[in-house]
């Protein structure tokens, strides 16, 4: 067999690639099954501008590293390409590269759509063909997957959500997961699933955040088509799919992107910019046009070929600043002497313009912990162009507050009111993610103070607070039924806990909260606008009571939310009203079905002409201990 001259690249493709503006490189690079001169085979293309030679090696040539040399393009692109006859789907291969200094290197294909199951490290010739049956979802997505609709996200690690009970060490396949995950998410009322990284990665304890195969669905769970099946099944049930995506760094594994052609090709050569000290990984060189094209093409690939409805972009703060996790004297600076990574900001702006310009009804969500301004503002207005940003400050303040013994909460009252002062500066998502239940931080239920009843009551009211605040929501798997152990990526969730009433009650609470959130327009129509929120009383520190209004487009949808964050039953408590009306309790975390004490307000609450909280009319009601209740105008 020989390597025949062939190319999928036009001159225009090359021009776009080297200028950083080619966003569908997956249609050109990698291994493509084609027919050439009436012969079936595979076209290979790889970027290795500093290599002396690039050969394809695999089972087909007994792993000979010199017999099938690709042809270097005569332009300045640095692309090696060629057609090898009679190589079909399933062929295992690598690139044998002679580096710029003559060093022999073996690399996997950066654009491979399938890889061997780790710890094996070769790429596999494959395709992304699939007969999709989710057109109904895609057609309505622009209307339902938008910022003025409910968005309750269930964050899932596929390897540990559930495992085979008869063989606990075996992770389930994408198809096996679909059988139980889809009906569970549907039953619990979540609107979206967020999958922790499912791109191919070698080191299992990295949870998928150290990627080597950016264009491949992890072979641990099956083929690309089986992942497509899982996504399709979620779509058929009107559940959106967000993928965790990691354009911030990659590992130094020998078969991966690091020193790909013997030089720092994908990463910065200056290790002050190119090495991440916390994660011992390598940072993409966003100043390089071809690298930006690679990354944006990867984002487009998952939205295009896998019908993903959004990307949650990991570790954005680490991309934006050279001094992230570095002492000032150890950090690089930009051309103006500042700490901002200007190449990264350009990349993120290009990314968001590209994906929002190409796909209707998708989201990009930044995990961004700094005070960088305008993360979710449009690019044309000077922002980065993300759809949403994780509200890390809200999450940290909230958990700090709830860890306090209730007797001391009056001294920390405004930890829960402070977030409203900046809640509408960005489009915020409120997250309780996997990061909060690992590394000694304890599970959500054991962050809560008190005896067993109080712990569960605290957690119920915490979730009610979360879902009645402005912003979209994200809850990590297991949090919904008060998993007691910290998350363990090596084992299934503790589903057996649901045989115990407190845990079953917690699950019922989250199911009911999701139903409330999705059915009450006041909780989502103004998620990112001050028009949707108003305090009735933010200052009752003595009793640790908080009262606020959530508003929709119509006055009849107005809700009053009342939180009592002490274990004291508050009887005949006066609440000022937004307007004169009869009110009905529509939700109460203290319901017995939730493992509460059953202290409800079952009668219609009549308005009293008694001034309270600066308002002309008020109602008198009972507030359960460590409870949250929601009132709506009675019909």
What residues are labeled active site? 314, 367
Distances from the Cα of 185 to the Cα of 7, 237, 240, 348, angstroms: 45, 9, 11, 31
Phi–psi pair at 31, nearest 5 degrees: -110, 120
Q: Identify the CA nearest to 107 among candidates 291, 210, 260.
A: 260
Q: Is 250 helix (H, G, I), strand (E, B) or coil?
A: strand
CA–CA dist 542, 407 (Å, integer): 10
CA–CA dist 364, 132 (Å, integer): 23
Helix axes 11-18, 289-304, angle to 10 degrees: 110
Phi–psi pair at 85, nearest 5 degrees: -65, 150
Number of residues in the chain = 635
Cα 391 to its chain centre, rounded Å, is 13
- Beta carbons within 8 Å of 21's beta carbon, 6+ residues apart: 289, 293, 350
**DSSP bridge pairs for 549:** 534, 560
CA–CA dist 31, 268 (Å, integer): 27
Q: Identify the CA nearest to 477 among candidates 453, 430, 510.
A: 510
Distances from the Cα of 433 to the Cα of 111, 280, 423, 477, 487, angstroms: 30, 23, 19, 8, 11
Distances from the Cα of 161 to the Cα of 190, 491, 503, angstroms: 15, 8, 17
Q: Identify the CA nearest to 26 among candidates 303, 390, 418.
A: 303
Q: Is 364 helix (H, G, I), strand (E, B) or coil?
A: strand
- What do you get for the CA distance between the two ends of the chain, in Å? 79
CB 56 within 8 A of CB 44: yes
For residue 572, count other CB atoms closer than 10 A to its CB: 8
Q: Is the dihedral of CA 175, 128, 115, 489 positive or negative?
A: negative
Phi–psi pair at 321, nearest 5 degrees: -130, 130
CB 261 within 8 A of CB 254: no
CB 25 within 8 A of CB 293: yes
Instruction: Read off the tokens for 434.
Output: 């996997």
């Amino acid at each position: 067999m020989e390597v025949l001259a062939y190319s999928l690249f036009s001159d225009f493709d090359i021009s776009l690639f080297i200028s950083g503006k080619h966003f569908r490189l997956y249609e050109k690079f990698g291994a493509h099954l084609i027919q050439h001169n009436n012969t079936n085979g595979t076209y290979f293309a790889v970027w290795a501008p500093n290599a002396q030679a690039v050969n394809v090696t695999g089972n087909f040539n007994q792993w000979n590293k010199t017999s099938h040399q690709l042809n270097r393009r005569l332009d300045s692109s640095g692309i090696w390409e060629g057609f090898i006859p009679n190589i079909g789907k399933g062929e295992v291969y690598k690139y044998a590269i002679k580096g710029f200094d003559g060093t022999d290197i073996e690399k996997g294909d950066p654009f491979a759509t399938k890889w061997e199951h780790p710890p094996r490290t070769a790429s596999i010739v494959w395709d992304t063909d699939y007969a999709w049956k989710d057109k109904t979802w895609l057609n309505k997505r622009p209307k339902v997957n938008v910022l003025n609709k409910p968005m309750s996200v269930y964050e899932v690690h596929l390897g540990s959500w559930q495992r085979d009970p008869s063989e606990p060490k075996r992770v389930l396949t994408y198809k096996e997961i679909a059988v139980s995950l889809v009906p569970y998410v549907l039953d619990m009322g979540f609107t979206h699933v967020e999958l922790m990284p499912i791109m191919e990665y070698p080191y299992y304890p990295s949870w998928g955040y150290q990627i080597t195969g950016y264009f491949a669905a992890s072979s641990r769970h099956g083929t690309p088509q089986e992942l497509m099946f899982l996504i399709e099944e979620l779509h058929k049930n009107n559940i959106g799919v967000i993928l965790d995506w990691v354009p911030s760094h990659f590992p130094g594994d020998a078969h991966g992107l690091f020193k790909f052609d013997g030089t720092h090709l994908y990463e910065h050569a200056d290790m002050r910019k190119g090495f991440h000290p916390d994660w011992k990984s390598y940072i993409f060189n966003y100043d390089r046009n071809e690298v930006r094209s690679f990354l944006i093409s990867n984002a487009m690939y998952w939205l295009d070929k896998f019908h993903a409805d959004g990307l949650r972009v990991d570790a954005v703060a680490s991309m934006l600043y050279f001094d992230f996790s570095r002492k000032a004297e150890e950090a690089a600076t930009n051309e103006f002497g500042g700490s901002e990574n200007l190449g990264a900001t350009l990349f993120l702006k290009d990314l968001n313009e590209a994906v929002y310009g190409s796909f209707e009804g998708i989201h990009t969500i930044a995990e961004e912990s700094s005070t960088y301004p305008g993360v979710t503002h449009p690019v044309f207005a000077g922002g980065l162009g993300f759809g949403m940003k994780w509200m890390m400050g809200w999450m940290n303040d909230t958990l700090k507050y709830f860890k306090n013994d209730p007797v001391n909460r009056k001294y920390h009252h405004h930890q829960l009111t402070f977030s409203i002062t900046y809640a509408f500066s960005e489009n915020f998502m409120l997250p309780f993610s996997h990061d909060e239940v690992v590394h000694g931080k304890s599970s959500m239920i054991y962050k809560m103070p008190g005896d067993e009843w109080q712990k569960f009551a605290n957690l119920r009211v915490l979730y009610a607070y979360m879902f009645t605040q402005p912003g979209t929501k994200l809850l990590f798997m297991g949090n919904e039924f008060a998993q007691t152990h910290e998350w363990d990526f090596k084992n299934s969730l503790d589903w057996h806990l649901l045989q115990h009433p407190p845990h079953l009650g917690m699950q019922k609470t989250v199911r009911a909260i999701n139903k409330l959130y999705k059915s009450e327009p006041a909780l989502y129509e103004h998620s990112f606008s001050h028009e949707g929120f108003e305090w009735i009383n933010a200052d009752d520190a003595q009793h640790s009571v908080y009262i606020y209004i959530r508003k929709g487009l119509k006055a009849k949808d107005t809700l009053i939310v009342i939180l009592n964050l002490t274990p004291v039953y508050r009887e005949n408590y006066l609440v000022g009203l937004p307007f004169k009306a009869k009110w009905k309790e529509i939700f109460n975390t203290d319901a017995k079905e939730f493992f509460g004490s059953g202290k409800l307000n079952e009668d219609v609450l009549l308005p009293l002409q008694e001034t309270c909280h600066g308002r002309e009319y008020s109602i008198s009601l009972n507030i359960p201990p460590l409870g949250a209740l929601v009132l709506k105008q009675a019909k």
